[in-house]
Amino acid sequence: MPSLPDALAETLTRLDVRIAETGADRGRLLDAAALADRTALAEDEVRALLDGGAREADRVDDRVRRRVRAVHEAYVARSGKRAGEVGREVAERLSISPEWARQLLLGRKMPNVPDLTELADFFGIEEGVRFFTDPAATVLNRELGRVLAGLEEDGDAEGPLVDFATRHGVVTLALRGQRLTRRQQEALAVMLEGLLGIDDEETRR
């Protein structure tokens, strides 16, 4: 099996470091099924990449057709619309026949670049065409980059609790993998300060 691309390997390494530092739930953050849903990749494909392997090279048109179908199926499930209704909306959007739209959405036909651009816009995919055309490792690395950014942002938000622990000699604060925003941590610190203040007053009485 080919080795993992350098960019993805680096992101996974950085994620493991941050997960160890923050005590975050690795299984939740790197859940293959959830990542597959967000990337339109196959779950086994995601799992193989997370395990350090790389998918054999595939044809761009094959990956485009697979991902269009995956995005369409996810959209139908999420929106509660019938597949036929979505097909008609896509047909109108792309100015094509309903039957041709159905073939595209089922992954049986390859969309041209303008149609693929419109499909990305229709399904609200901010990466545009490259979401469908990039290699699996690139797509997964982009999504894991968002996960890492969230961890690093939360890491910056540890200030209020770290400050609290330092001032009161608290050895550890175990959040059991929970990731708190700065506002949540500030609120928790204020609450703990209040509880300690009550204890101090009772001690002086």
Report the C-alpha gap between 186 and 180 in whole angstroms. Answer: 10
Over the chain, what is the mean pLDDT? 82
- pLDDT one-digit tens code per residue, 83-93: 999 999 999 99
> Above 60 in pLDDT, residue 49?
yes
> Above 80 in pLDDT, residue 115?
yes
Do 160 and 185 meet the contact criterion of CB atoms below 8 Å apart? yes
Residue corresponding to tokens 């101090």 = 200
Residues 6+ apart with CB under 8 A from 106: 69, 72
- pLDDT one-digit tens code per residue, 134-175: 999 999 999 999 998 888 765 543 445 545 554 554 434 545
Higher pLDDT pick, 20 / 203: 20
CA dihedral 83, 89, 92, 93 (to 10 degrees): -120
Higher pLDDT pick, 175 / 132: 132
Partners of 53 in beta bridges: 3
Q: In the chain, where are the structural domains located?
A: 1-152, 157-204
Do 58 and 65 meet the contact criterion of CB atoms below 8 Å apart? no
> Above 60 in pLDDT, residue 51?
yes
Higher pLDDT pick, 24 / 160: 24
Read off the pLDDT of each residue in 55-60 and give the average, rounded to a whole number: 77
pLDDT at 154: 57
Report the C-alpha gap between 70 and 36 in whole angstroms. Answer: 9
Higher pLDDT pick, 1 / 195: 195
DSSP state of 3: B
Read off φ and ψ for residue 135, nearest 5 degrees: -60, 155
> Above 50 in pLDDT, residue 180?
yes
Partners of 3 in beta bridges: 53
